[in-house]
Structure 1
């Protein structure tokens, strides 16, 4: 987690923090309760793990002024609604629901508990007490696509995809846009596994692609199984959500790391102070919420240097991976030359860009 950013923010808002807690004087001796709902186990070393790291950061920051709760391995559906409702009944003032499939249950429960603030990850439904947040993972995927385009020997890149939702589709597209620019001969092969976390399925998908000549594997699933499979077979892989380098010291090219710590702390403090407002929040490299801290030994120095240059241009806003011209698979222009795709269009992305093989499952 990016402690330097958190420390800077803390210094800038220290006075406000004191006032915020003063505003809670009626219940000053009671901890402010915050809950998290995870689709996978906190030990997945991916998405749920990184969200739980932000929960830990929240406790470290606020100390005994905050009490956190989490529920892991929550299926997307009726069970999610029950879990979220029970957490609201238990007096949690802020509830983070951290998977796309929790959207409808979160929206339903939010209407039942108007005094509780709900934050839903990667969705699009907003309400007076319901906000959404997501990270610009596609920025990291574009960097991964560039690196993959330079290290592949077979020109076959594999992508293990979870579910056909906009977040996953735009990340696949970001990889393809990088491949098309830096190595047009490279092919992107997508395998849908319909799970966020299933090490067996993820390993099978990785092995099947490597059997077909793929020598670089990216993933939008949460276990390190693909990285481990690549390590065993002398291929390359990109880590998801957290630093997965220790699962494949030789295979690891880079990891696209999510750091939710600043957002979690900032949001809870805003609710405490009574100045939180519903919004659709996007955080990326500029906010240090998407990180690519290092590159593996298989990445040539010149490639790592150019990748870092790309990261700098993304952070300072001079470049966006979704800068036109961009075409869909039929060749129709969806983003004109020189324009940057708007967030609302990224949020609803439901098509492959030119170059991606296959079709999106329905």
Structure 2
């Protein structure tokens, strides 16, 4: 299946998959990415899902992707162009695409839209995400066992609830295993900026961190940790190859099954504007292979925590959970509701600094 490259908007580049059958005989499906598909992280994993759609559904579909789309006016223009050019299902894959997606959807009621990590829906707009925080619970426990300095460096993209809840889930599990450990966060205000991510990793290491965790999309933090001889945790895809000695594991997003199922739903007429939020149990995320240097008892601990999350025996935010001031926010015997997680704008005990406003 060949590809034609066209300019679409600013730095955005669109790749059109062209088959032998006439385009009008196929369902045209569009994907909008905030970063490049070569980021080896978040956008890369979404594009693996697009490729799974092509592989599974073949001549029934024609897919288009647009990469490097800024979260703003450019996003609305790109989404509009996809809708105007005959795409009947459009996936917009970053939180900042939420309002642009809703605006375009109002103008194209016959087009179906799916927005990743957002919370606003409409008759023709569905939402979907993965419970990334579940993975952060497991890696938090691993970090608690592996740190020697008791300082964990955490590189954040933007202080939205998805990222803040991940920091908190990580910290709760970290301190369950190692009450002396603390988390220091550097915000880079970008999803993908290898230079900023590397500098953030260096700054955290200089502050004493011996484990680097990220909620950003490039492998630069892994490479920096490898250069310094320290541990790291990857984001969105298996980043082992960028720091095989450093990389403990990664929280890997798996969109393949979801994308195939949703495209099939359009093809067979069963698509509905629903909200999907899946975790380990739903196979929307998994952990990359563990570093062989992790002791067997730590691997066993991680596997047990993951199994308990999948069975419902454990929740990432099961009380008592205290905020930085020591106030009990989630009482003993209770777990955070989805609504609480989706609005989380505060840090738990053990995280240094304040959430940026």
TM, length-normalised to structure 1: 0.91
1:147 to 142, 146, 150: 142
CA RMSD of aligned residues (A): 1.2
1:45 is the counterpart of 2:19: no
Establish whether residue 119 from structure 1 lines up as the match of residue 114 from structure 2.
Answer: yes
- The aligned residue for residue 333 of structure 1 is 328
SS in 1 for 2:164: helix
| Shift, 1:319, TM fit | 1.0
Aligned counterpart for 1:228 among listed residues 214, 223, 230: 223
Question: Structure 2 matches for 1:2-41, cutoff 5 A?
Answer: 30-41=25-36
Check the 8 A contact 2:95/2:116 in 1, yes or no: yes
Q: C-alpha displacement at 1:77, in angstroms? A: 0.3
Would you say the 8 A contact 1:227–1:252 is kept in 2?
Answer: yes
Q: 1:350 aligns with which of 336, 345, 349?
A: 345
Which residue is 1:202 aligned to? 197
Which structure 1 segments of 5+ residues have no match? 1-26
Between 1:314-323 and 1:163-172, the stretch displaced more is 314-323
Q: How does 1:187-266 map to 2 (within 5 A)?
A: 187-266=182-261
Shift of the alpha carbon at 1:180?
2.0
2:8 maps to which residue? none
| SS of the residue 2:48 aligns to | helix
Higher relative strand content: 2
- Structure 2 contact 161–341 (Cα < 8 Å) conserved: yes
Q: Distance in 1 between matches of 2:24 and 2:103?
A: 31
- SS of the residue corresponding to residue 252 of structure 2 reads strand
User: Is the CA contact 2:142–2:174 (under 8 Å) kept in the aligned structure 1?
Assistant: no
Structure 1 segment 292-303 matched on structure 2, within 5 A: 292-303=287-298
Q: Is the 8 A contact 2:188 2:196 kept in 1?
A: yes
Compute the displacement of 1:124 (Å). Answer: 0.8
- Measure how far apart 1:280 and its partner are: 1.6
Do the aligned residues in 2 keep the contact of 1:251 with 1:298 (CA within 8 Å)?
no
The answer on 1:184 being equivalent to 2:179 is: yes
Q: 2:50 aligns with which of 55, 60, 77?
A: 55
* Displacement of 1:298: 2.5
**Equivalent residue number for residue 129 of structure 1:** 124
2: distance between equivalents of 1:266 and 1:324? 35
Count residues in correspondence: 336
**Corresponding residue of 1:3:** none
* TM-score normalised per structure 2: 0.92
CA contact (8 A) 2:23 2:62 kept: no
Report deviation, 1:29: 6.9
Aligned mates of 2:328, 2:275 — CA distance in 1: 27
Is the 2:76–2:101 Cα contact (8 Å) retained in structure 1?
yes
Between the aligned partners of 2:207 and 2:330, the Cα distance in structure 1 is 33
Match of 1:289 in 2: 284
Q: Does the alignment pair 1:164 with 2:156?
A: no
Structure 1 partner of 2:264: 269
Deviates more, 1:46-55 or 1:173-182: 173-182
Q: What is the DSSP-based 3-state SS (H/G/I as helix, E as strand, rest coil) of the residue aligned with 1:63?
A: helix
Q: Which has the higher helix share?
A: 1
